[in-house]
Amino acid sequence: MNPHTTSSGSRRRSAALKLVELRKQFGDIVAIDGVSLDVMAGEFVTLLGASGSGKSTTLMAVAGFIDATSGEVLINGEDQSRQPPHKRDIGLVFQHYALFPHLSVEKNVAFPLEMRRLPKAQIGERVRRALDLVRLGSLGARKPSELSGGQQQRVALARALVYEPSILLLDEPLGALDKSLREEMQWEIRRIQQALAITTVAVTHDQHEAITMSDRIAIMRNGRIEQIGTPADIYERPRTRYIAEFMGSSNFLRGKVEAGPDGGRLRVAPHTAVPLAPRAGALADGSMDLVIRPERVRCVPGPREGDGLAGAIAGVTYVGEAWQIDVKLDSGEMLTASHANHGELALAPGDRVAIDLGTHPWWAVPLES
């Protein structure tokens, strides 16, 4: 576990960036609808959400490129409403590199320092350090057009970091890269972010990227933060069905809550009641949807009369690292299981299977209104 993931630990530190009830309206369109967020010093927070959910607008309001309709942006405790973008202590990287094509890599990275009128000797030293940091030390004389996409994004990162801002904002910085380069750059950005302990807010709509890079993830929906927490919080303990669906794939089994010790139980079939995790929201004595991640389900061959969930295999799909097994339950509902690929699979379409949900407690979400 990295040092930023404990919530008690991060709460003790001060917020380097604080958003208070931030709102932005473009005419009738409410782009952000009351976003409050504390980002601790050195923390990496990702805004994740569907297209149009307000991620970029939030970042642009932090950077000062758009004026919020209401609410506050505080950096190290100071209100930023009167600060123009270049006076905010922020480095920015966008999806499209926006490097100056006619300038060398070195000149691109030196640009923010020249704007700030640093002495020449200092500029040379800082540019060298920034280029070393992103592992481009030997390419300073090249033009952007002579670099790969990933290298260009490293230059953009070096340029954002060279004046040592206290906050780094990343808006889909890897969006234009192919998958393997993207994954390499995820590690690279995380390594640099941790080496500098720089407070970072990133935007992505790639859930895997958010999970692997972030200390905390804020899921945005319709201009609001629907849930914020560690990657495990969001994946294992989604507050709503929307979050569960957005973060990975999930089955939902509707059931009735039966009160009991800890979280009680959820009856999902006449003969099947599964234990609920405490705080799964089970207190509302009514219907809930059980969140069943495909990798947590076992399909066991052979019918098991009378007890538990059972059905017939409707389809088996090879997905490389796993087999995806689609089961038609006797209730008529479909359920997808994922079995890790340990070789061949002894299950085929048409086979009767029992669904083994194990004995550990499960998470449930309220019915979506």
Ligand X SMILES: Nc1ncnc2c1ncn2[C@@H]1O[C@H](COP(=O)(O)OP(=O)(O)OP(=O)(O)O)[C@@H](O)[C@H]1O
The site partner of 29 among ligand X, Mg ion, none (C-beta below 5 to 8 Å per kind) is ligand X
Among 56, 58, 152, 207, contact with Mg ion (rule: CB under 5 A): 56
Contact letters for ligand X, residues 18-57 (x by CB under 6 A): --------x--x-x-----------------x-xxxxxxx
Residue 199, contacted partner among ligand X, Mg ion, none, CB below 5-8 A by kind = none
- Closer to ligand X at the Cβ: 95 or 152? 95
Helices (H), the chain: 7-12, 55-63, 105-115, 120-133, 149-161, 179-196, 207-213, 231-236, 241-246
- CA dihedral in degrees (226, 245, 280, 48; nearest 10)? -30
Residue 51 binds what, of ligand X, Mg ion, none (CB under 5 to 8 Å, by partner type)? ligand X
Nearest CA among 360, 233, 339, 363 for reference residue 291: 363
CB of 222 to Mg ion, least distance (A): 14
d(CA 338, CA 362) in angstroms, rounded, equals 17
Q: How far apart are CA 9 and CA 211, in angstroms?
A: 20
Specify the residue, 175 or 281, whose C-beta has the smaller distance to Mg ion.
175
- Picking from 220, 300, 208, the residue whose alpha carbon sits closest to that of residue 249 is 208
Rounded Cα distance, 95 and 58, in Å:
16
**Closer residue to ligand X (CB): 66 or 158:** 66
Count of residues near Mg ion by CB under 5 A: 1
DSSP labels for 140-189? TTS-GGGS-HHHHHHHHHHHHHTT--SEEEEESTTTTS-HHHHHHHHHHH
91 binding partner (options ligand X, Mg ion, none; Cβ < 5 to 8 Å by kind)? none
66: which residues sit within 8 A by CB, 6+ positions away? 24, 57, 60
Quote the least distance from Cβ 173 to ligand X, whole Å. 13
Comparing CB distances to ligand X, the nearer of 158 and 247 is 247
369 binding ligand X? (CB under 6 A): no
Q: Please give the residue ranges that form the binding site for ligand X (CB under 6 A).
A: 26, 29, 31, 49, 51-57, 205
Q: Please give the residue ranges that form the binding site for Mg ion (CB under 5 A).
A: 56
